[in-house]
Structure formats: C-alpha cells, structure tokens
C-alpha cells in the first residue's frame, strides 16, 4: 500500500493561521474590557474571574485531549476545538449579560485546550527532525503576533463600531480554516522520530513525573504565565485609567510592544534572521523596559513615542 501523500507546508500554513486566530480571540476581550464593563456594570473582580475561569477549564480539559486524539484522531479533535472556540467567540458578539460572557469563556478554554495540546504534534509529524526547529519557530510566531493583533483589532474596531464588532471579525475565519483542515491527511504519529527517542521517561505519566527536565520546564512555564497573565489582561485598562490614554491608543501602544517583542525574539532553532541578537534572555529583559518607556514617557502622541530619542 502506497504511503499517504502529505502536504506539510499547507498544513503548517493552516495551523499557523489557526494559532494566530487562537491568540487574537483570546486577547480581543482584554482590548474592549472597559467597554464591556460599561454595558454590564460589573466590577474588576468579576472580569478577573472571567480569565480565571478560562484557565481553569483550559487546565481541566487539557489532560483529556491526548486520549480523545487516540480514539478519534488528532485532526478531528483539533477541528472540533477550533470550531468550539470560534463559535463561542461569535456568541460573545450577541451575548446580552455577564453570565453569558462567563459561559462563553469556559467554552473558549475547552476549545483552545484541544488545539494548543495537539496542533504542535501534528505540525512536528509533518517534518523531519532537522527541520522542526525552524517549523515550530514559524508556528509559534503566531503567539505574539496574534496577541498583538487582538489588541489592535479590539482597540480600533471597539472604538469605532462598539465592543461587539471585533468578535464577529475574529470568529468567521476560524470556522473556515478549521473546515479546510479536514481536507488534509493526518500524518502518522511520530513518523520521523528516532527509535531511541521513545523512552519511558518521555512516553509515560510516571516517567514524566520523575523527569527533572520536564518538571523544571513545566514549573518555569507556569511561573511565566502567572507573571505575564495579569499584564496581558489589565495593561490596556491600566494605560486607559491611570495614564489617561484613550482605549484606542492604549491598545495600539500595548499591541505594538507585544508584536515588537515577539519579532525581536532570537531564534537559533528556527534559523530566523529576524532579530537575532545572540542573547537568549532578550525578550525577558526587553519587555519591561519597553512597557516602562511607553507608559511613563511624557509625550502627547503614540507616534511621537515611537519616533522620539
């Protein structure tokens, strides 16, 4: 039987585009948070609960995605998740109360869990090991770019058309891309992996619990998300309330900071010439400096901030 023909570049393009929409849909609510609050008349604590609920459901759903992918295939679970979060994003545009918004965010968390857990393995199995660093660099570039576009989309459209408009724009492409993914064949799991890579400390839950590298990376990621989560959710609101920016300018400022930080990220593995500075902790040191400079520099215009000495 002849092997199934794969389309790795098409799969990478579709999944990267979906990853981009994933982070747009996640951050667009933060961009219009004060506009939503003005309509629903709820406290900051209530809006903080929305993000907490999102991550709780995300965390609880994630362990089930592996077994589901074995039973139904990774592609089907990825597509189902993308459809769930895209339709939940669409529902945000028509929700009439805070409880509906809260339910929407739980669905987004479940949908995103399936995509974030399984799509990297789908991409990795499309390419040989020696190309994976570059390929995953392209795939994960969608994280800062998508997050930034969420702020820019929410800031611009929210100011002009109301807070519901950006959710319509963010939802429709996700449905289309998810359905297109159904047309692609699924690669065999681990088809390019060397036999020696299949070790108990990597392939079993018991092995992972006793794997120091896995535990260190997981705890480090958890601490990073904890530190950056509040910044991501509240920075546009902070710029608006504490420093007098309009919501449009606040979102443009933070969106540009986010996308600049992502593009300046050095990527040895990805082999990317963009922003290669030879300094592995550049994003960590650069982001606070950029935020400080943009927030506290006394200029009247965001354009002058970018152009000033």
- pTM, two decimals, is 0.82
Among left, alpha and beta (phi > 0; psi -120 to 50; other), residue 30 is alpha
Calculate the CA 5 to chain-centre distance: 30
User: Is the pLDDT assigned to residue 267 strictly greater than 60?
Assistant: no
Nearest to residue 256, comparing CAs of 216, 305, 192? 305
- Residue 306 tokens read as 């970018």
Q: Note the pLDDT tens digit of each residue in 129-163.
A: 888 888 998 999 898 899 999 999 999 999 999 99
Q: Note the pLDDT tens digit of each residue in 66-93.
A: 899 989 999 999 999 999 999 998 888 8
Question: Hunting for tokens 């990795």 — which residue is that?
Answer: 124
Band of residue 271 on the pLDDT scale cut at 50, 70, 90: very low
Band of residue 170 on the pLDDT scale cut at 50, 70, 90: confident
Band of residue 295 on the pLDDT scale cut at 50, 70, 90: low
Band of residue 4 on the pLDDT scale cut at 50, 70, 90: low
> For 101-110, 184-193, 240-249, which range has the lowest pLDDT when averaged over its residues?
184-193
pLDDT of amino acid 249: 93
Contacts of 98 (CB under 8 A, 6+ apart): 40, 42, 46
Q: Give, in order, the Cα–Cα distances in Å from 66 to each of 73, 116, 302.
A: 10, 11, 45
- Consecutive H or E run containing 115: helix 98-124
From CA 146, how far away is CA 140, in angstroms rounded? 10
Domains of the chain (ranges, CATH numbers): 8-191+199-307 (1.20.1250.20)
> For 199-208, 268-277, 286-295, which range has the lowest pLDDT when averaged over its residues?
268-277
- The mean pLDDT of the chain is 81
pLDDT of amino acid 166: 93
Q: Note the pLDDT tens digit of each residue in 39-70.
A: 999 999 999 999 899 989 999 999 899 899 98
Question: Hunting for tokens 């809260």 — which residue is that?
Answer: 102
pLDDT of amino acid 300: 40
The better pLDDT of the pair 286, 291 is held by: 291
Q: Note the pLDDT tens digit of each residue in 108-127.
A: 899 999 998 999 999 989 99
Count of other CB atoms within 10 angstroms of residue 142: 21
pLDDT of amino acid 13: 93
Q: Note the pLDDT tens digit of each residue in 202-253.
A: 677 788 888 888 899 989 988 888 888 888 899 999 999 998 899 999 999 9
From CA 248, how far away is CA 256, in angstroms rounded? 12
From CA 120, how far away is CA 103, in angstroms rounded? 27
Apex 108 CA angle, 30 and 222, nearest 5:
70
From CA 107, how far away is CA 89, in angstroms rounded? 9
User: Is the pLDDT assigned to residue 269 strictly greater than 50?
Assistant: no
pLDDT of amino acid 191: 82
Contacts 24+ apart (CB under 8 A), 158-163: 158/31, 158/32, 158/35, 158/247, 158/248, 158/251, 159/246, 159/247, 159/248, 162/35, 163/32, 163/35, 163/36, 163/39
User: Is the pLDDT assigned to residue 280 strictly greater than 90?
Assistant: no
């Amino acid at each position: 039987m002849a092997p199934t023909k794969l389309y790795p570049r098409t799969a990478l393009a579709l999944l990267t585009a979906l990853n981009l929409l994933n982070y747009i849909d996640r951050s667009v609510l933060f961009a219009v948070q004060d506009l939503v609050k003005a309509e629903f008349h709820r406290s900051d604590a209530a809006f903080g609960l929305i993000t907490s609920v999102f991550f709780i459901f995300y965390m609880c759903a994630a362990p089930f995605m592996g077994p589901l992918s074995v039973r139904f295939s990774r592609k089907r679970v990825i597509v189902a998740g993308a459809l769930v979060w895209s339709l939940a994003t669409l529902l945000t545009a028509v929700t009439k109360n805070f409880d509906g918004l809260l339910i929407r965010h739980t669905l987004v968390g479940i949908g995103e869990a399936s995509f974030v857990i399984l799509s990297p393995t789908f991409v990795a199995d499309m390419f040989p090991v020696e190309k994976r660093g570059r390929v995953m660099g392209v795939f994960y570039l969608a994280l800062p770019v998508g997050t930034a576009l969420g702020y820019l989309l929410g800031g611009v459209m929210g100011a002009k058309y109301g807070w519901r408009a950006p959710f319509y724009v963010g939802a429709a492409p996700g449905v289309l891309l998810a359905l297109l993914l159904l047309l692609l064949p699924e690669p065999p799991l681990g088809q390019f992996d060397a036999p020696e890579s299949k070790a108990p400390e990597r392939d079993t839950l018991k092995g992972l619990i006793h794997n120091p590298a896995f535990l260190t990376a997981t705890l480090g990621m958890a601490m990073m998300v904890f530190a950056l989560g509040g910044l991501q959710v509240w920075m546009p609101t902070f710029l608006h309330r504490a420093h007098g920016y309009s919501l449009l300018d606040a979102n443009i400022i933070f969106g540009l900071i986010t996308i600049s930080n992502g593009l300046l990220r050095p990527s040895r593995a990805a082999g990317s010439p963009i922003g290669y500075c030879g300094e592995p902790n550049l994003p960590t040191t650069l982001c606070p400096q950029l935020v400080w400079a943009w927030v506290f520099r006394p200029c009247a215009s965001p354009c002058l901030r970018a152009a000033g000495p």
